[in-house]
Structure formats: structure tokens, C-alpha cells
Amino acid sequence: MTDLAGKVYVYGVIAASGDTAPQVEGIEAAPVRLVGRPELGALVSDLGTDALSAPKAVRAHWRVLEEASQDATIVPVRFGMVMESEDAVVARLLEANQETLSALLHDVAGKVQLTVKGKYDEDRMLREIVQSTPAVAELNERLRTVSVEAAYYDRIRLGELVAAEVDHRRVADTVAAVARLEPLAEAVREQEVREPNAAYDLAFLVRREAIEDFTKAVGELDRDVGDRIELSYIGPAPVYSFAEANLSEGSPAWA
């Protein structure tokens, strides 16, 4: 475990004028405070000796950012930024990156992130692929009639064909979802899917006043995809995918 006693943990950067720190506990249940006024401010808390890799520390990091984003525009900092003092936060984070951070804050002012994820009904999708793809249907039927040893290469080929069909459907479904929702957003990011049955993982940058219309459009998309794709709708949240400051070079120690 790295000894972090006496150091300062950084959560994110805000346009500090008129803002106050959120009333929420940070990592190690420490109070969160705002340093570096008036142009830019950083949300920080003091650290003891806990390892930052602990899941509870990650949850605390997200909790602070989500609470702060309710009333302010915030540029999240990647989990794990630790600096030796408040002075270092001001000099090496805020002042050294003032132009970049100010531009990011300007770009996301008054906006939130809304995330739409789609997950296929795997059994249904496989049945549809077999029914609609003659080459897959033929190989699938052949595998019913030959031994495991004789079907070795056919099984490999079948897996390749099915994977290609899944990719084709994933691309088409992603294009359809983006076409439906992008007109209501300021920007969209297609994020890497991490599960075999994932259809898409899309992050949208949306103005606060457009959240209701965007939510309605997600409901319409959900009705359109029916039982074929299960949608998850997440947000409003801090703009992680659009303005997360990757400024870890200034951090002297983290677990």
C-alpha cells in the first residue's frame, strides 16, 4: 500500500466563481473542498493511507463528481490523481493547464452526459442469424450429422460466420440508434462494447434543457427495437466521455 498521508486527492475542475464544494464525503469519508478561486477551481480532499485502487475509493470519486455536476459544470479528472499540496494543485494543475481547462469548461457548460447501451437477446439473435443466413443454416445442419472430430473445421467456420453476422447487425443497429438520437445532442461518442452480446454503448452530450426531449426519443427507440435489444439509459451524469482531463503527468503519487 502506498502511503498517501498528508497529500491531496483531486476529483475535477470547475469554473469556481460563485461555486461551492458539494456537501458530499470524498475518499476515506473526507470532506470535499474547493481550491484555486476565482477563475478555476479544483475539488479536492485530504488523504490518509488507503489504497486508491480499492472499489470504495472509485465509488467515492464518482459520487463526488456526480454530486458536483448537479449544480455546476465540471471537468472530471481521471481516477487516481494525487498531488502533494493545495499549492501544487493550483500551480501545476490549474495554472499550468488554464487554457486547456477553460476551453473544456466552455465547451461543456450547461450540458450533461446521457448514455444509451443496447444488449442483444443472444438466443433470439442466434436463431435469427440461422434463419436468415443460408451459409450459417447449412453449416449448422451439417454439424448435426457428423462426428465432433469430422466437424472441427466446420465449427470454426460456423463461429466465423456467426461473428461476422453479429458485427454486421451491431453496425446497422448502432447507425440506427445514432441517427435517432444525435439530432437532439451536441455530440456523440461511440464507446467500445465489452460484452459479446452488446449492441452499442453510446454517450451523448446533451444540453440540460433538452434532456426531456432526448429521454422521449430514447423511449421511442426502445419501443422500436422491441424485445430484440434491451436498452439501458444512464444519466444525467458528468461529461466523462467529452471532457475528462487526462492530466496525470502532474501527479507525483497514486496507487
Q: What is the pLDDT of residues 197-217, one digit of tens each?
A: 899 999 999 999 999 999 999
> Structurally, how many domains does the chain consist of?
2
In a domain, 73, yes or no: yes
Chain segment 132-185, per-residue pLDDT in tens: 777 777 766 666 766 666 667 667 777 777 788 888 889 999 999 999 999 999
Q: Of 61, 92, 109, which one is at a domain's C-terminal end?
A: 109
In a domain, 138, yes or no: yes
State the Cα–Cα distance between residues 12 and 232, nearest whole angstrom: 26
Q: What is the pTM of this model?
A: 0.79
State the Cα–Cα distance between residues 118 and 96, nearest whole angstrom: 40
In a domain, 83, yes or no: yes
End-to-end CA distance of the chain: 7
State the Cα–Cα distance between residues 68 and 85, nearest whole angstrom: 22
Mean pLDDT of 9-31: 81
Instruction: Determine how many CB atoms are found less than 10 A away from the CB of residue 211.
Output: 16
8 A C-beta contact, residue 207 and residue 200 = no
The answer to whether residues 45 and 23 belong to one domain is yes
The pLDDT score that the predictor gives to residue 54 is: 81
Q: Is a pLDDT exceeding 90 seen at residue 234?
A: yes
In a domain, 251, yes or no: no
Report helix, strand or coil for 29.
helix
Percent of the chain with pLDDT over 90: 40
The pLDDT confidence band at residue 255, using thresholds 50, 70 and 90, is very low
Helices 134-142 & 152-181 angle (0-180, nearest 10): 150
Average pLDDT along the chain: 84
The answer to whether residues 96 and 169 belong to one domain is no
State the Cα–Cα distance between residues 249 and 23, nearest whole angstrom: 29
Report helix, strand or coil for 76.
strand
The answer to whether residues 99 and 167 belong to one domain is no
The answer to whether residues 93 and 122 belong to one domain is no
Domain limits for position 132? 112-241
What sections of 97-255 are H helices per DSSP?
A: 98-108, 122-132, 134-142, 152-181, 211-225, 240-243
State the Cα–Cα distance between residues 114 and 202, nearest whole angstrom: 8
